[in-house]
Structure 1
Amino acid sequence: MKVLVTGASGNVGRYVVKELLKMGENVVVAGTDIKKLKTMFGDKVDAVEFDFTNRQTFMEALHEVDRVFLMRPPHLGKPQDLYPFIDIMKSSNIKLVSFLSLMGVEHNTIPPHHKIEKYIENIGIPYAHIRPGFFMQNVSGIHAKEIKEQDKILVPAGKSKASFIDAKDIGLSIAVLLHEPERYKNTAHTITGPQALDYYQVADILSTVLGRKITYDKPGYLKYRQYYINNRGLDKKYVNVTVALYFMTRMGTAKEVTDGFYRLTGRQPRTFKDFAKENKEVFLK
């Protein structure tokens, strides 16, 4: 049987695919851009068209599949957007679904991930939720533009700390869960990096690695929201979700450091400094 990876071209999905292939699994990559998927993974995987909003794509994606990595696309803000596919997984007798959730979401009903977790559990599909801390790739991705062009980190996190984790480490953790479905049936795993950092510390690390002064701008929610919508042209729904997450971060929800990654993989998680060195080119002017 095969493992279906949704969001296979994304920050986490690509590493889930890579690690599953190393483990000898047969992988199906799913997405709306088949050409992109085939370019990324070649003939090592099966590529299928898949869209959470198009039920006609569900059955082909699940053909000969018994395990699924489930990722909520950022543009789908409502938990209900994923329910039809989850229902089909139930009827397809999936052995395990590993849902990419959020750290602390079991105590936080605001993000859509909370309701998605509960829906999977209540419908009776065997699950292994993965609840990572903030992605290091957020810094090298969405926030890299201001670092590169203005030498600033622009996030409304105040003085709060986050236990950043590399998407590579998240991908490995998910692959472990999917590779051993019986062992990890009906479990949840909070995985983090090795330390909690505030954005002043992140700026200091980047300054050292890049050889130029990077500062943390610490904008308020309104300034942040207006900038990313008006200046960056990002979708309002997406920006609003990030505002909510940073609001929760200020309440201390992202600072926990766990040994979850080590317990799953037997390895120590990558540090932010090592990540910055590895991705230095992203921030160069």
Structure 2
Amino acid sequence: MTVLVTGASGNVGRPVVDRLVAGGIAVRRADRSPADHAGPGAEAVRFDFTDPATWPAAFAGVETVFLVRPPALGDVRRDLLPAVAAARDAGVGHVVFLSLQGAERIPVVPHATVERWLRGSGMSWTFVRPSFFTQNLSTTHAADIRDRDELVLPAGDGRTAFVDTLDVADVVAAVLAEPRAHRGRAWTVTGPEALTYGEVADALSEVLGRRITYRPTGVLRYVRHARTALGMGAGMAWVTAGIYTTARLGLAAGLTGDVRQVTGRDPRPVLETVRREAGAWRRPETVPREESS
């Protein structure tokens, strides 16, 4: 069995590849620039959802695909699903899709569109629906925390069931290793606790030794902030605004036991992840200049 892992250099894809290789499974890493993310034990192939010329080599001989939607691809019918259809035509029989917690209840998010398409595609499928990645704090929102000691989000006082991407990768790898056992299943992968962003700011403050403040804001102000201060494109800014709105409405707080059910162990708490990721928010030390003689 050969597994194609899209998004192989990402926070989930990279550890998924490592786990599959360690388990002796044939893995093909798919990236737009695979040479930049080379790793031992896996074949690398150039792949771009929007470039049909890269599809045949990626899908040849593949039975199972781990499908990760690049955040920049908002129009999935135009920019992602044609590649998945080509995978089906090339003989891929099973797709494990990295979806989103609650996607089945939020029809406007791109993940819901992909799920609907896969259900009618003729391929078997498994949906892995993670809650909000704790690592988004150390990537997407790192600049706010590191440079401005704040989190600016339209999440109100709602709670979010944060999850460590390593827990997501463990679930995905288990599914990819034995896809037949997970056909037609949707796993909602969460951490062990649902926190408000004020509580997350408290955890960051504890680990970093300085005060991090959560600043709730409206959707429009958040979108402007995301585009100007965080460098997001318009599409990603609006998609993330929608995700944070689900938290504000109380729709992101649901906890499940799916990590334990699939992997046999409990998921990692937020504070453990924040401690491990702390380097992303630490400011460079100021090195005093030597005085000239």
Fold match (TM-score > 0.5): yes
The one of 161, 173, 182 equivalent to 2:180 is 182
**Unaligned 5+ runs, structure 2:** 284-293
Tell me how far 1:56 sits from its aligned partner: 1.5
Name the CA distance, whole Å, in 2 between partners of 1:65 and 1:233: 36
Residue by residue over 1:32-76, the C-alpha shift from the partner in whole angstroms, topping out at 9 and shown as x without a partner, is 1122122xx1x4111111111111211100122111100111111
Counterpart contact for 1:96–1:178, Cα < 8 Å: no
- Comparing 207-216 and 132-141, the one that deviates more: 207-216
- Please state whether the residue corresponding to 1:190 is helix, strand or coil: strand
2:56 equivalent to 1:56: no
Tell me how far 1:136 sits from its aligned partner: 0.5
Name the CA distance, whole Å, in 2 between partners of 1:126 and 1:134: 26
Amino acid at match of 1:129: F
Counterpart contact for 2:59–2:92, Cα < 8 Å: no
- Please state whether the residue corresponding to 1:97 is helix, strand or coil: strand
Amino acid at match of 1:85: A
Task: Tell me the equivalent position of 1:229.
Answer: 227
Counterpart contact for 2:61–2:91, Cα < 8 Å: no
Name the CA distance, whole Å, in 1 between partners of 2:197 and 2:254: 15
Tell me how far 1:91 sits from its aligned partner: 1.9
The one of 253, 256, 261 equivalent to 1:255 is 253
- Please state whether the residue corresponding to 1:154 is helix, strand or coil: strand
4+ long deviations beyond 3 Å = none
Name the CA distance, whole Å, in 1 between partners of 2:177 and 2:200: 34
Amino acid at match of 1:148: R
Counterpart contact for 1:177–1:184, Cα < 8 Å: yes
Task: Tell me the equivalent position of 1:275.
Answer: 273
- Please state whether the residue corresponding to 1:123 is helix, strand or coil: coil
Counterpart contact for 1:261–1:268, Cα < 8 Å: yes
**Unaligned 5+ runs, structure 1:** none
- Please state whether the residue corresponding to 1:109 is helix, strand or coil: coil
* Structure-to-structure mapping, 1:106-255, within 5 angstroms: 106-255=104-253
Tell me how far 1:251 sits from its aligned partner: 1.7
Task: Tell me the equivalent position of 2:8.
Answer: 8
Amino acid at match of 2:61: E
Task: Tell me the equivalent position of 1:25.
Answer: 25
Residue by residue over 1:195-232, the C-alpha shift from the partner in whole angstroms, topping out at 9 and shown as x without a partner, is 00000100111111112111101122222111221233
* Structure-to-structure mapping, 1:77-92, within 5 angstroms: 77-80=74-77, 81-92=79-90
- Please state whether the residue corresponding to 2:120 is helix, strand or coil: helix
Task: Determine which structure has more spread, i.e. the larger CA radius of gyration.
Answer: 2
Name the CA distance, whole Å, in 2 between partners of 1:6 and 1:15: 12
Instruction: Output the aligned Cα RMSD.
Output: 1.2
- Please state whether the residue corresponding to 1:183 is helix, strand or coil: helix
Name the CA distance, whole Å, in 1 between partners of 2:217 and 2:105: 27
The one of 71, 75, 86 equivalent to 2:72 is 75
Identity in percent: 38
- Comparing 170-179 and 146-155, the one that deviates more: 146-155
- Please state whether the residue corresponding to 2:181 is helix, strand or coil: coil
TM-score (norm 2): 0.93
- Please state whether the residue corresponding to 2:200 is helix, strand or coil: helix
Residue by residue over 1:71-120, the C-alpha shift from the partner in whole angstroms, topping out at 9 and shown as x without a partner, is 11111101212211221222233232100000011111010100101101
The one of 41, 44, 48 equivalent to 1:47 is 44
Amino acid at match of 1:242: T
- Comparing 234-243 and 195-204, the one that deviates more: 234-243
Counterpart contact for 1:29–1:37, Cα < 8 Å: no
Amino acid at match of 2:106: N
Name the CA distance, whole Å, in 1 between partners of 2:134 and 2:229: 23
